[in-house]
Amino acid sequence: MAAEPVNMEKKEKNFCISMENSGDGLSKDEMESCVCRLLETLGISWQMMHHAPVRTSADCTEIERELHTSGCKNLFLRGSSGNAWYLVLLPPEEKADLRALAIQLGEKRLSFAGEEDVKNILHTEPGAVSILCLCFETAEQVRVLIHRKILEKETIGCHPCINTASLKLSVRDLTEKFLEPAPVQISDAMFIEYRRRPDAVEPGLYISCTDPMKGMNTQ
């Protein structure tokens, strides 16, 4: 997969999304700017590269090698009730035991969320799902489960909510400045449940990005 040269410098993006224009939705460049501005606000440094669109974990191997980091599987799941949502982060080599995880979560079963669910809940598109989508998930209805093997790594690769760019982030920054442990943990020792920190979204940014996928140009 051909990729653009890696820019290992911290990118400064112009952030000029106004409340008046937010109803028209965000372009991919604006979504990227939105995420990078949030990371800057939280004091989280990043490294970024742009590349051709990726759709699967396998597509990310070359990008992760260029960024000198490791990626993860981002599984967006729906509970049996239809109104419970879970974002599960797994190392690439791990397989998801959805039946066992459903039992731990008190669900009859877990299934993969559909394309419309990804758009309506995480406000992105399939292939671009990442932990950073929580900055657009204003209803706070998604529970986040991170595998312990990911938490043992120094850095992680993820998309800035679009599949034509990838970020390298510090796992410690991510779990201390963007996320916080949930007050109640599931009994599965391999996962830690997190939620987005209440202060992890800049107030003006939060309002401007309420519906980022509306009218978004995905070409």
| pLDDT tens per residue, range 98-147 | 999 999 999 999 999 999 999 999 989 888 999 999 988 878 899 999 99
Does some domain include residue 7? Answer: no
Is-above-0.85 flag for pTM? no
Number of domains the chain contains: 1
Which domain, by its residues, includes 158?
22-208
What CATH number is associated with residue 123? 3.90.960.10
| pLDDT tens per residue, range 74-99 | 999 999 988 899 999 999 899 989 99
| pLDDT tens per residue, range 26-48 | 788 888 988 999 999 999 999 99
Read off the DSSP letter of residue 200: S
Alpha helices in the chain (DSSP H): 28-42, 61-67, 98-105, 115-117, 148-151, 171-173, 203-208
Q: What percent of the chain has pLDDT over 70?
A: 79
Does some domain include residue 216? Answer: no
Does some domain include residue 98? Answer: yes
Distance set, CA 116 to CA 24, 97, 126, 175 (Å): 19, 24, 9, 28
8 Å CB contact between 78 and 109: no
Where residue 187 falls among pLDDT bands split at 50, 70, 90? confident
Q: What distance in Å separates the CA atoms of residue 64 and residue 4, rounded to the nearest whole number? A: 13
Does some domain include residue 85? Answer: yes
Of 22 and 73, the structure prediction assigns the larger pLDDT to 73
